[in-house]
Amino acid sequence: MTPKLILASTSPFRQQLLNKLALDFDTMDPGVDESPQEGETPLALVERLAREKALAVAKRCDFPALIIGSDQLAVCDDHILGKPLTVENAIAQLKRQRGKTVTFYTGLALVDSRNMSCQSVVEPFEVRFRQLTDEQIERYVELEQPLWCAGSFKSEGLGICLFESLSGRDPNTLVGLPLISLSELLMSAGMDPLA
């Protein structure tokens, strides 16, 4: 029996990205506490959370499934940038990032519910911000309202105007789901998007 594909996320951005692979999938809320553990590095945090999200959903599956978990955070000057949640926080985050390079780490995990095996990777992506004015930052936040996005921008929208350069293996990583790595994990689990 072919396993179902499940995205352990309620993120509409991750759903849109996964649609690019032209595979049928369902979504489930993993319901995982995303708090960092004491002394946990950003890389360890995103990988752990991606695994925990996929495993949490796998434990609720009473059918064969491949479950995708993902988590992302941004780091600027050794400081973790989370989701701003308010306009004021978004403006403050963008002011902190102007003229600097921010590294995004996206954890990705794939769990096979048939044997609870788990594959995981962390995909980095660097963004170099322009030297933005306060007015540009405030206008951007007003127009795009990136309050639920780590780093306070949407690279798939107007946020692209904030950048001087992008550097990484897969531009989808910046939005929250590295599709190159995901397609590799899926193929190794027997689900080839091109088959």
Q: Which positions are catalytic?
A: 71
Q: In terms of Cα–Cα distance, which of 128, 138, 116, 126 is closest to 163? A: 128
Q: In terms of Cα–Cα distance, which of 176, 189, 153, 193 is closest to 69? A: 176
Q: Which residues contact 42 (CB under 8 A, 6 or more apart)?
A: 73, 75, 80, 105
Between the alpha carbon of residue 140 and those of residues 38, 43, 164, 189, the distances in Å are 34, 29, 16, 41
